[in-house]
Amino acid sequence: MSKKPKKPAHSAAPSAEKLENRNAAALARVADMTDPEGLRNLMANATRLGVEPVREAAFKRLAAVQSDGDEGSVENAVWQMIHAVEQIKREDSGKTIRLSMLRRDIQKVGEAAAIGKIVAKPGPSERFDELMARALPGYTAEAIVLTHPDAFDDATRAAATARLTDAGVDPATLMT
């Protein structure tokens, strides 16, 4: 006579305190992570579990660890924007999509000049719209202009301010 295998006992859902502790531990780990794939995995898990603060922190860290230039520089801010937009495109399409034209322009004229050209164009860029749709105004070319005002002329700063204001963003919040 064979015994019927026991069904595994269903464990109760984690308590709110356990979930909070788990999420806090994940959030604390993000700052030390340097592996882009590990950060993407953490973002996917946070999205699946509905833990937006962890996903957002991992997204920002991913943009930072992939960026070139000294922290706080125009160059670094531009590369963070590029990596942020490329990650958004990757999530939307399921494949890697590079901002090839912007990368080529940077090779020719440098980061600040390339961003200045984007901001000087009439109307918002596709990148601007994608970042605003994700509530990431701090990664826009316009935000880079305003957070590094010495690298840009008055007309470029005015265009950046106008575009952000038109989109409902208070430019003063980006300059802190």
Residues of the chain falling short of pLDDT 70: 1-12, 175-176
Q: Which long-range contacts (CB under 8 A, 24 or more apart) does 44-47 make?
A: none
Provide the pLDDT for residue 176: 46
Joined together, the tokens standing for residue 119 give 């901001």
Q: What pLDDT score was predicted for residue 174?
A: 84
174 contact partners, CB below 8 Å, separation of at least 6: 137, 138, 143, 146, 147, 164
How large is the C-alpha radius of gyration of the chain?
A: 21
DSSP state of 149: G
- The answer for residues whose C-beta is within 8 angstroms of residue 28's C-beta and 6 or more apart is none
